[in-house]
Amino acid sequence: AQKITQTQPGMFVQEKEAVTLDCTYDTSDPSYGLFWYKQPSSGEMIFLIYQGSYDQQNATEGRYSLNFQKARKSANLVISASQLGDSAMYFCAMREQGYSTLTFGKGTMLLVSP
Amino acid sequence: DTEVTQTPKHLVMGMTNKKSLKCEQHMGHRAMYWYKQKAKKPPELMFVYSYEKLSINESVPSRFSPECPNSSLLNLHLHALQPEDSALYLCASSPRQTGNSYNEQFFGPGTRLTVL
C-alpha cells in the first residue's frame, strides 16, 4: 500500500488565485513528520513546509500553509496568491520516527497561468 | 551556508566510460544521501551515509559505487552504465540519519546524466 498518496497528477490555477494540493498518508507510527517540496524544471528540490504529528497548529511559511487533518491522515498544501514562479512539480513526503528516510508521493504538477 | 552543491550539472557518458558525481555540504550535517529521479517521478533513494559510513544501500547495482571521503563530501562513481541509468541524480544532506521526525533533508540541484 502506498504510504503517501497525491491524487492530482496536474493542477491549473490562474495567477493570484489560491490553490490546494492534496496529500494523504498512511502510517501506524504515532510520531512522524510531513514535508512538502517544490521541484521546478531546473531540478532542485526546494523545501517548503514541515508539519510534525504532534504539532497542535497548522504550519505556515509565507504564502504556504499546511492544512493538517490528523484523523483523516491528510496534509494538504495551500498556496495563497499564486505566482507564475509557482509553476513546478510538488511532492509530499513523510518521515516516520522509526525510519531514517523520506517516503515521497508521486507528485502534482502545478501550472500557473497569467 | 545552507547549500548543497553538486558537480557537474550535466554529464553525458558512454557505456564504457568511468565518471564520478560529486556532492558537497558545509552545514555540519552527518547524514548524506544519493537519490535517482526519472522524469515526472519521485526521487528514489539509492544510498545513505551516516557519519561517513554506508548505512543504507537500496539494492543498487554495483555499477554505482558511492564514497564518502569526509563529512562534507559525497561521491558517486559510475562505471559501465546502461542507457536506462539516464536520470537526474540528487544529493541531499540532513543533520543526522535518525532522531526526531523533523531532521529536514536539504537537496542539491542535481546532476542530469545521459548514458549513450
For A42, the closest of B43, B106, B109 (CB atoms) is B109
User: In whole numbers, what is the pLDDT of chain A averaged over residues?
Assistant: 93
Q: Is residue B86 less than 8 Å (CB to CB) from chain A? A: no
Chain A residues in contact with B97 (beta carbon < 8 A): 100
Q: CA of B30 to nearest chain A CA: how many angstroms apart?
A: 13
Distances (CA, A) of B73 to B23, B40, B69: 6, 28, 6
State the average pLDDT over residues B77-93: 95
Amino acid at B108: G
Structural contact between residues B80 and B15, judged by C-beta atoms closer than 8 angstroms: yes
Residues of B in contact with A50 (CB under 8 A): 102, 104
Mean pLDDT across the stretch B44-48?
94
Largest CA distance in chain A: 44
Q: Does B53 touch chain A (CB under 8 A)?
A: no
Beta pairing class for B64-70 and B73-79 = antiparallel
A112: pLDDT confidence band, cut at 50, 70 and 90?
very high
Determine the residue of chain A that is closest to B55 in CA distance.
Answer: A100
Q: Encode pLDDT of B4-36 as tens digits.
A: 999 999 999 999 899 999 999 999 999 999 999
Instruction: Tell which residue, A79, A98, A108, A105, has the closest CA to residue A28.
Output: A98
What's the confidence (pLDDT) of residue B103?
72
Residues of A within 8 A of B33 (CB-CB) are 101
Task: Give per-residue pLDDT as tens, A16-68.
Answer: 999 999 999 999 888 899 999 999 998 999 999 999 999 989 999 999 999 99
- Band the pLDDT of A101: cuts 50, 70, 90: confident
For A60-99, how does the pLDDT look when each residue is reduced to its tens digit (9 = 90+)?
999 999 999 999 999 999 999 999 999 999 999 998 876 6
CB atoms under 10 Å from CB of A102, counted, come to: 25
The residue with cell 514541515 is: A50
Mean pLDDT for B58-72 is 94
Which residues of A, range 30-59, sit inside 8 Å of B by Cβ? 31-33, 35, 37, 42-47, 50, 52-53
- The pLDDT, as a whole number, for residue B95 is 85
Higher pLDDT, B74 or B100: B74
Q: Has residue A108 got a pLDDT over 70?
A: yes
Flag whether pLDDT at B97 surpasses 90. Answer: no
The tally of CA atoms less than 13 A away on the side-chain side of residue A113 is 4
How does the average pLDDT of chain B come out, rounded? Answer: 91
Contact assignment for A33 to B102 by CB distance below 8 Å: yes
DSSP letter string over A66-111?
Answer: EEEETTTTEEEEEE-S--GGG-EEEEEEEEETT-SS-EE---EEEE
Residue B14: which of B106, B89, B83, B62 has the closest Cα?
B83
